[in-house]
Amino acid sequence: MKVIFEHVTKKFPGRGKNKDEVIAVDDFDFEIPDGKLIGLLGPSGCGKSTALNLICGLLSPTNGRILFGEEDVTAIPPERRGVGMVFQNYALYPHLTVEQNIIFPLQNLKGAERLSKKEMHDKAVEVAGLVQIDALMDRRPSELSGGQQQRVAIARALVKLPRVLLLDEPLSNLDARLRLQTREEIRRIQTRTGVTTIFVTHDQEEAMSISDLIVVMKDGRVHQIGRPQEVYDDPADLFVAQFLGTPPINVFDGRIENGSLYIGEEAVLAWETVLPEGENKETAGTAPASDKPIPVTVAIRPEGFVVDPAGPLTCALDAVEVMGRDVSVVCRHPKLTSAPQIRAVIDADEQPDSAREQVRFSLKPHKVLLFDPESGERLRTGW
């Protein structure tokens, strides 16, 4: 089932001392395609859980419409939306067994949809098999591990064949190993059932690894929607560039002058065209010829550095961390603004001499991204 946001805004009234109203979701206007796994990604407080609650109907939007396919569900209460939801703390009914938890939604069906006890049991067993908890049907939630509880929650959300499956921070309560395993599991279950699945996370790695599509949000606004690799390679703005990727992208103050990109006094890349989106081609196009430098924010992915004794970018070397497959070069540069140190990931074979005090890099052009220092908007480059 397609989920469509039509200019959806959700405001919360101010309370007590904070009189200002909070805009948790600001003019969402996009479409979530049918049968895909979508990650809503953003730092905490960005409105992603609010967005989820708008879809399931626990919250209703201040403005705008929400559609499931052709049907406008904006005014439909959560009971009748036909969505399945997995809560962050799973929200399993503690006084019921696993099986009773799973068939709970089925017992709500009325009229022609009503199922016999046998049918309910069969459905519960089927969906329990899908999430591999069929051996635990008589246990109570308190007797299960976190990972098992989560599977029960997923089974309960799936048993009535929801139109949309929603997962709120599904992996945050699991330990690191289980998290890796469970995210594969979610992917597998989604592929098997084909249910449009939307999950919320603040962990970019989690979102990138399993989503068909990610929606990057901040402060209630959608910054970018796209396939994970697309968003990583081609971020719309500095926030998206910085939010995605581990280790994070390295950000420098730079400028464009005389047809080259400068970081400090070093011309690190030859420049061909810089064209801010929507900006007049003539004025932008003539800029490099002039001797007036254009300040830009330069962001370089960790894998964009190549150790090169003759390279243009000179950094003070702090450490070389060997990770096996590849090597992290930790160094400093006076123009770096994102963190105290640069973290460059290079191939283990190209390891620099860690006894040296300096390291020189050349840059892979497609890993170097330019942004407007004022607005953070991406400056599209032609290299």
Partner 1 sequence: MEQRHLKGYLYLLPAVLFLGVFLVYPLFDVVTYSFEEGYNFASQTYRGIGLYNYRYVLRDPYFLQALKNTLLLVIITVPLSTGLALVISVALHSITVLKDFFQTIFFLPYVTNTLAVGLVFMILFARTPYSDGLMNLLLGIFGIAPIDFIEGPYAAKLFVLSFYTIWIVLPFKILILTSALAGVDENLIKAARIDGTGPMRIFFKITLPMISPMIFYLVITGFIGAFKAYSDAVAIFGVNLNAAGMNTIVGYVYDMLYGDSGGFPSYASAAAILLFLIVLTITLINLLASRGRVRSN
Residues of this chain that bind partner 1 (CB under 8 A): 56-58, 77-85, 87, 89, 91, 93-95, 104-105, 107-109, 156, 160
Would you call 349 exposed, middle or buried from its count of C-beta atoms within 10 A (0-12, 13-18, 19+)? exposed
Strands 37-41 and 196-201: parallel
Partners of 18 in beta bridges: 15
Q: Please state the closest distance from residue 332 (CB atom) to partner 1, in A.
A: 46
Q: Please state the closest distance from residue 98 (CB atom) to partner 1, in A.
A: 15
- The torsion angle over the Cα atoms of residues 266, 269, 273 and 275, rounded to 10 degrees, is -70
**Is residue 243 within 8 Å of residue 216, measured between CB atoms?**
yes
Nearer to partner 1, 64 or 82 (CB): 82
Nearer to partner 1, 90 or 243 (CB): 90
Q: Please state the closest distance from residue 116 (CB atom) to partner 1, in A.
A: 18
Nearer to partner 1, 94 or 324 (CB): 94
Nearer to partner 1, 152 or 359 (CB): 152
Q: Please state the closest distance from residue 15 (CB atom) to partner 1, in A.
A: 12
56: Cβ contacts below 8 Å, ≥ 6 apart: 78, 81, 83, 85, 166
The residue count for the chain: 383
Nearer to partner 1, 108 or 375 (CB): 108
Distance of CA 297 to the CA centre of its chain: 23
Structure tokens at 145: 């591990």
Could you write out the DSSP letters of every residue in 166-214? EEESTTTTS-HHHHHHHHHHHHHHHHHH--EEEEEES-HHHHHHH-SEE
Strands 22-28 and 3-12: antiparallel
Q: Please state the closest distance from residue 60 (CB atom) to partner 1, in A.
A: 13
Closest CA to 201 of 42, 70, 89, 335: 42
Nearer to partner 1, 79 or 374 (CB): 79
Give the burial string for 67-104 (b: 16+ CB within 10 Å, else e): bbeeeebeeeebeebbbbbbebebebeeeebbbebbbb
Q: Please state the closest distance from residue 153 (CB atom) to partner 1, in A.
A: 8
Q: Please state the closest distance from residue 133 (CB atom) to partner 1, in A.
A: 17
Q: Please state the closest distance from residue 31 (CB atom) to partner 1, in A.
A: 22
Nearer to partner 1, 41 or 158 (CB): 158
Nearer to partner 1, 63 or 108 (CB): 108
**Is residue 314 within 8 Å of residue 336, measured between CB atoms?**
no
- The dihedrals phi and psi of 65, each to the nearest 5 degrees, come to -130, 150
**Is residue 258 within 8 Å of residue 354, measured between CB atoms?**
no
Q: Please state the closest distance from residue 25 (CB atom) to partner 1, in A.
A: 18
Nearer to partner 1, 58 or 135 (CB): 58
